[in-house]
Amino acid sequence: MKHQDILSLTLEQLTQTILTYDQPKYRAKQIYGWLHKNMVTSFEEMANIPKLLRGILCNNFYIPAPVALKKLKSSDESIKHLLNFKNNTIIETVLLKSSYGYTICVSTQAGCKMGCTFCASQEKGFKRNLTAGEILAQVYHIQRELDKKISNIVIMGIGEPLDNYPASVAFIRILSSPEGLNLSQRSITISTCGLVDKIYDLAKEELQVTLAISINAGDNAKRKEIMPIAKKYTIEQLIEAAEYYFKKTKRRVSYEYVLIKNVNDAKEQALSLSKKLARTSSHVNLIPLNYVVGGEYSRSEDEKIKEFAKILQKSNISTTIRISKGQDIDAACGQLRNISFPLT
């Protein structure tokens, strides 16, 4: 019989499951606490759970604790973890340190289907979706090692979170549950390259997470050159979905714009984008392209980046030039892969 990932179950699902084994309801809450507060990696660690029930759990479920293959530490104290899950599923997870605390950047897929030409995550193709439990396990692995409270989670690692929609939403709900780590949903950001239909679905979930959208161009023709998803959805459709998200959640949307030299950093792109985002409830993060080994693109020049920002700001669009962390260990935006350094 195939074992089930127990970390992926909400408390309600776990309770219903425990009842089917003729166990008292309160046992589900105890097990859930061991999994999501104590972050145990084996059923034998659940000291107050009877041996019979631990046996049932061992025979029917597994806890998706990853095997740590390697980690690299950046000069800015960012740490990249290379983790291996079931069936040789290798992903990267990053811990970022700042003045306001610790942030974990989690992956939702091994590889990526989206094909954005400037991103390393798509280079080795797509292997599979991660389960909600495997996404949680990344947080728990780093949390156990760090032994300090995490302040923020960004779902911006390898993969497109909205292409793995059920697992991504379950991850958010379990991570923010009072019986678990109880992390505020306002401290969670989910990033998408622009799956418009899923943005509408996410808006209806009644979550309080921040939505970040990779836009990367001011017009549709330019966006199609670097982001295949633009062939399915226009920028106008994307912005309309984002505004719907804002109206439903009252959470301001962030637009991520990777600036690539002589590709999307022209003044005309900034002017076009500023017209489209005028009168929207949004913020723009300008991200100078991070170097990717073997990549065909270069980072925009500092003066062009500043000029781009000024054009947006003149249209009263809140704009920030992001300082990327972990560049020296290939841990910054667009640099993550399912394997990016040798295992030996």
Q: Which residues are catalytic?
A: 92, 333
Which residues are CB-neighbours of 239 under 8 A, at least 6 positions away?
276, 277, 280
Whether 123 and 107 have beta carbons less than 8 Å apart is answered as: no
Cα separation, 157 vs 191, whole angstroms: 9
Dihedrals phi, psi of 237, to nearest 5 degrees: -65, -35
Cα separation, 282 vs 273, whole angstroms: 12
DSSP helix/strand/coil, 253: strand
| Whole-angstrom Cα Rg for the chain | 21
- Closest Cα partner for 195 from 222, 225, 230, 155? 230
Cα separation, 225 vs 244, whole angstroms: 27
Token pair in block for residue 104: 């974990």
Cα separation, 66 vs 118, whole angstroms: 28
Q: Give me the amino acid identity at 250.
A: K
Q: Give me the amino acid identity at 192.
A: T
